[in-house]
Structure 1
Amino acid sequence: MSTLALGFTLTFVMITMALSKWQKLGLEKDIALGTIRGALQLLFIGYVLHFVFQTEHLAYTIGIISIMIAVATHNAGKRGKGLKGINWRIAAAIAVTEILTIGLMLSLNIIKPTTQFIIPISGMTIGSSMIVCGLFLNQMNREVETSRDVIEALFALGATPKQAFQRALQSSVKASMIPTIDGMKTVGLVQLPGMMTGMIIAGTSPVEAVRYQILILFAFTASAAMTSIILSMLSYKLWCTKELTLRKQTS
């Protein structure tokens, strides 16, 4: 894509801002800031990845993945406001999922052990895990709040935290995985995923692009399940005190 063609893509931003102004949504400033920030971030990471791909140094690869996990943890952690220690639990869930996913791909020779493969797939895996963490925390907060009387009654009857929160945890894990599962059902019919589309535009055979997209699709499903289950196992006690009473929800 030429620089001129890239510049023309701002037309879509202008249309969005015009629609916002027409409907008096007041989003013009946010759209403008988001556009500038997104473009600068992408340009920056583009040059960084260009450098890393050329050097093929393991330390740079680990560094970039660590930054991805840190940013994903910070973003998902906002959904767990008031839960002390939730951030390191999110980081642990995402990190374990990343290690298991990439480790399995490398050990089975599904992908090549190069930064060109590891970093992009890691980014998609971590991004997917971040969304799952946010969905889990949102749903868990709702489940605990709506089932407060039931959970407190279970505690009064001598139930352990795991027993008291069992139904809420099951519902939250299920809710966090629904978007991923729904995506599997409609991929190729309702949408052509970004990775597949990008490879086709870059000149790759559609059949080869589909193979890589299938890899990502299956890996995302497994990583969503791993992330949600690991986070549920690490975090469920945060919703109660040592005296086995529910903590007050914070907005």
Structure 2
Amino acid sequence: MKLRLLRVLYLEDRPVNLSQQTGNTRLPDAIGKLIHLRYLRLPVTMINELSPFVGNLQSLQTLEMGGNVKNPISLPDEICKAKQLRHLIGTFKWPFRVDNLRNLQTINRVVVDGQMEFNPMDLINLRELSVVIMEQSSNNIFTLDSIGRLRSLQDFELLFCDKFSSLFPPLQPLSHCQHLLELALLNKNELDPMPVLEKLPNLTFLELMLYGVDKLSCTAGGFPQLQFLRIYGCDVKELQVEEGGLPLLKGLNVDDSIRMPERLRSIPAIPGNDN
């Protein structure tokens, strides 16, 4: 069988090239000859740059790589030519071109530098997105406006590494994400997120990390579909829930010292999660 007819490629021990322009390690350019490839997996590797020839992979649907927040993977502009791409799995460095990637459903994690503007508006079919915001500049404040326009979004994670909590964006744009099912927020924000989040009609899982607020308040009828709530590493001292709030909650991970209604104390921990 000719290699160029390959549909699936999983490389464990692979040769790498050194980019003459950036000095980063990357896959050989020959990868671009596998024009029928649909699935390309590169597990946790030393590769931190993808060859421009990835744009030749017109049938590619899933690209799975490694990377981490400190060493994200650089994608070439030619990635936008892979119009059938549905899933980007790994940790990738912003910016990269997303125009023409109308079929993209998953970006497992994207790292946004403080000097960059993150605007995924063209990704109209995006369902799963994880964003890591590094330290911001006062001239370029990250907002959730473009995220709020992703009407197909179902799973969103925002990890905010900036030490200045005052720069954390208002959550109001997320109210337009009516199909959102799972949400995770990590930041040092001192504002209660519940007034906005409790109105999300289909949210089933909520995770709050490192919040600096003292009290979280949920009104009657708030979080009508929420089943799992996880709060950890936060300064929260009280979880206030009015009668009729969190009606479907069946999994709760919080610190034992947090004050909350007695009815919530009988709710078991989320399976497979340790607080």
Q: Which has the higher contact order (CA 8 A, sep 6+)?
A: 1
Give 1 or 2: higher strand fraction: 2
Q: What TM-score bracket applies, with the shorter chain setting the length?
A: under 0.3
Structure 2-normalised TM-score? Answer: 0.23
